[in-house]
Structure 1
Amino acid sequence: PLLIDAERVKRGIAQAIFTNSGCANAATGKEGMTDALAVSAAAAKQLKIPEEHLLVCSTGVIGRRLPVKKIEAGIGKLVKGLHEYGIEDAEAAMMTTDKYPKIAIRKGIVGAKDITICGIAKGAGMIEPNMATLLTYVMTDALIDAKALNTVFHQVIDSTFNAVSVDGCMSTNDTAVILANGLAGNNPLERAQARLQRFREMLTDVMAELSTAVVKDGEGATKFITIMVEGAKSKSDARRVAYSIANSNLVKTAIFGEDPNWGRILAAIGASGILLEKEKVSLSIGNVNVFAQDAPANIAPARLKEIFQGGNIDIRVGLGGGDKSYSVYTSDLSYDYVKINADYST
């Protein structure tokens, strides 16, 4: 499905997204492409739109072919059932291991008119940047130039969905789409306009709510972890350190077990591979300083234990080498994550 959509979005026009869950239709060769095109043609025909204006998305087990006949048999019923309040049904239908639906809405005045931005997402595992086994659809009635929309969307994705990790694993079917129909009738939004900033802020709110909901709903997750790295020479360095911590199984399991073993965080910082001056590195957890000037702080273990028992854990790292920063949101790694993924395909 990604190969088809990558070509179709180049035209800058899409009228519908057709999604199936349970089967990713990835690593299925020419037959998989044929299957996706067959579903696309059938759905476009029922919707009475050009096939090139329809996007197809799949999520589920990799390596299995789509049950095309079963899907085609249900398309007519789906189209007849379309209604203006169907967003909750659409979100629920594409969930796999998600525990709860993820929907976010913002309303505001942009370009002298009321506009709405609504987003839905599914995803709980295989969550790492460049998205993941994650589907995210955003819809707005704002009138906005296509180039401006593309620019803003990529900027917001970079600071939201491309800044989360549940398990450090990427998937084959990650997709993020934004559709704008212009029905709000606002003054057109273009890249050079100041009012585009208000649209960007609203879009950021929607995408941030959805992306953090994905982390909180991570497979087996019991903790929501915010990692902020500051004082880096470059954004790239800050990002490397943040992800080294976020994807460390030792850090994630310690947080799940509520074991304040902060030495694992320091080890992950060192394992990031960037050049460090150890005397300048600092670490705080939950606003409590635990390490600075190459030495541990004098803090009672019971206080750290109390912090680790909370549902939200904030980790702040100072590198002391510059003014660049980067934040990543992640979750812990629990027994349930192993159980869910040990028999996912069976």
Structure 2
Amino acid sequence: MASSTTVKGCMQKIADGSVHTPAGFKAAGLHAKVKRKRKDLGVIVSDVPASAAAVYTLNQIQAAPLDVTRESIAAGDTLRAVVANSGQANACMGKVGVADAYDMRDQTAQALNLDPLDVAVASTGTIGERLQMENILPGIAQLQPETNRAAANAFAESILTTDTCTKETCYATEIDGKTVHIGGVAKGSGMIHPNMATMLSFVTTDANIAPDYLQQALSEITDRTYNRITIDGDTSTNDMVLTLANGQAGHEPLHPGHPDWTHFMQTLECVCIEQSKQIARDGEGATKLVEVNVQGAPTDEDAGKIAKQIVGSDLLKTAVFGTDGNWGRVICAIGYSGVTIDPETIDIAIGPYMTLSQSEPVDFSEEAVTAHLQQDEVFIDVNLHLGDGTGKAWGCDLTYDYVRINAGYRT
């Protein structure tokens, strides 16, 4: 049994948890030979129909699997399974790409004895290459979903592209005295920028919640989490966050007026924050996770916008890589964020070290700031002194390896 650690209130982090941990979910992943060696095909399955909610990339060019998934969810707001492949994105392939996405859905439904509209589809990889259906369709028939850690990890491996590691997490809370689990698995490494990224994230929960309330919760939390990460300023064609809630925990239905609604929202947000940070930390070529925290903004939306602008600045990202405590790059990003500010009231700190107070430079130890910038996690704090708005964003440094990886992405 997975061990747990109390994080906040009744919330617990499940040490070895993933998408299989919530009751009634199984997973599988295998090597279908789309890629040379690594796993490239996987499935998550709910034992019963699950309320479904999704958020998609805002890129106007969207891959065929997103349209197929929208259709499945719209048919009844529930799903039983999601099938995903890596290696090819099935994007910009015209009619043949749409047909291939439907074939993935139909083959998965047949293999699991489901209706095709019970199945969502996701793909990630190179744009403009046709799916290797001669490998994918037989691979789907070989998938054997199971409820164990190895199966969940196999799925996590099957969706990776340039990622260097899997990204899994799970938290638990109490609803009506019943234990509710929320598990997540994600991929994302490059071509990541709000809103969303070359990012797939799948969240499972045994919570009992209607699809419209689940969509409300996911959309709200996505704005504060997945939409606050940036690696390189590009927004992909395939990005999706998909959440399934199958009600197997056995509590009364959740809604915003439920006394434990806050517990559910906090736990779901913890899962999404952790997934977002895992993605940002694993940016292509990255050596450091960068977290920007903005306070004192006119609104939370303004704070989030400024935080994203700072963490997305190439000049700031290269300064972090070079361990250069150049706070001028931070205030510059604040100035062109598009948010109305007072140029005379800004505080900036790098780690615990104040570098600017009320827009006046502060003497600080360059050596101490450099030492902070050498850590695996770098923190930048900004206070605008204009209101109560707060917001965070996450990113990474920009390194020589980012250029090397992307210069040879297809070779």
TM-score by length of 1: 0.95
Specify every segment of 5 or more residues in structure 2 that has no aligned partner in the other structure, as ranges: 1-64
Structure 1 residues 160-239: aligned runs within 5 Å = 160-239=225-304
Q: Distance in 2 between matches of 1:273 and 1:158?
A: 18
Cα contact 2:71–2:117 (8 A) shared by 1: no
Cα contact 2:86–2:161 (8 A) shared by 1: yes
Aligned to 1:335: 400
Cα contact 1:286–1:315 (8 A) shared by 2: yes
Q: Distance in 1 between matches of 2:147 and 2:302?
A: 46
Q: Distance in 2 between matches of 1:313 and 1:231?
A: 21
Change (3 A) 1:8 1:130: farther
| 1:251 is the counterpart of 2:251 | no
1:102 positional shift: 1.0
The secondary structure found in structure 2 opposite 1:15 is strand
| Amino acid paired to 1:324 | G
Cα contact 1:22–1:60 (8 A) shared by 2: yes
1:8 positional shift: 1.9
Identical pairs, percent: 38
Aligned to 2:68: 4
| 1:264 is the counterpart of 2:348 | no
1:333 positional shift: 0.5
Aligned to 1:306: 371
Cα contact 1:112–1:187 (8 A) shared by 2: no
Cα contact 1:8–1:53 (8 A) shared by 2: yes
| 1:316 is the counterpart of 2:381 | yes
1:341 positional shift: 0.9
Change (3 A) 1:138 1:296: same
1:26 positional shift: 0.7
Runs of 4+ in 1 over 6 A off after TM superposition: none
| 1:29 is the counterpart of 2:94 | yes
Q: Distance in 2 between matches of 1:229 and 1:218?
A: 22
Structure 1 residues 77-116: aligned runs within 5 Å = 77-78=142-143, 81-85=144-148, 86-116=151-181
Cα contact 1:18–1:56 (8 A) shared by 2: yes
The secondary structure found in structure 2 opposite 1:125 is strand
1:137 positional shift: 0.7
Q: Distance in 1 between matches of 2:183 and 2:300?
A: 30
Q: Distance in 1 between matches of 2:213 and 2:301?
A: 25
Cα contact 2:172–2:180 (8 A) shared by 1: yes
Aligned to 2:215: 150
1:303 positional shift: 2.3
Cα contact 1:251–1:265 (8 A) shared by 2: yes
1:91 positional shift: 0.7
Query: Structure 2 residue aligned with 1:240, among 269, 290, 305?
Result: 305
Cα contact 2:193–2:233 (8 A) shared by 1: yes
- Aligned-CA RMSD value: 1.5
The CA deviation string for residues 171-215 of structure 1, in whole angstroms up to 9 with x for no partner, is 110111111111221222223212122111221222221111111
| 1:52 is the counterpart of 2:117 | yes
Which structure has more helix as a fraction of its residues? Answer: 1
| Amino acid paired to 1:138 | V
1:27 positional shift: 1.0
Cα contact 1:111–1:188 (8 A) shared by 2: no
Query: Structure 1 residue aligned with 2:190, among 115, 125, 132?
Result: 125
| Amino acid paired to 2:406 | N
1:294 positional shift: 3.4
TM-score by length of 2: 0.80
1:234 positional shift: 2.8
| 1:42 is the counterpart of 2:107 | yes
Change (3 A) 1:108 1:318: closer
| Amino acid paired to 2:318 | T
Q: Distance in 2 between matches of 1:158 and 1:320?
A: 23
Q: Distance in 1 between matches of 2:405 and 2:187?
A: 16
The secondary structure found in structure 2 opposite 1:313 is strand
Which structure has more strand as a fraction of its residues? Answer: 2
Cα contact 1:111–1:189 (8 A) shared by 2: no
1:170 positional shift: 0.9
1:238 positional shift: 2.1
The 10-residue stretch of structure 1 (48-57 or 194-203) with the greater mean CA deviation from structure 2: 194-203
The secondary structure found in structure 1 opposite 2:344 is helix
1:108 positional shift: 3.0
Cα contact 2:107–2:141 (8 A) shared by 1: no
Q: Distance in 2 between matches of 1:107 and 1:271?
A: 40
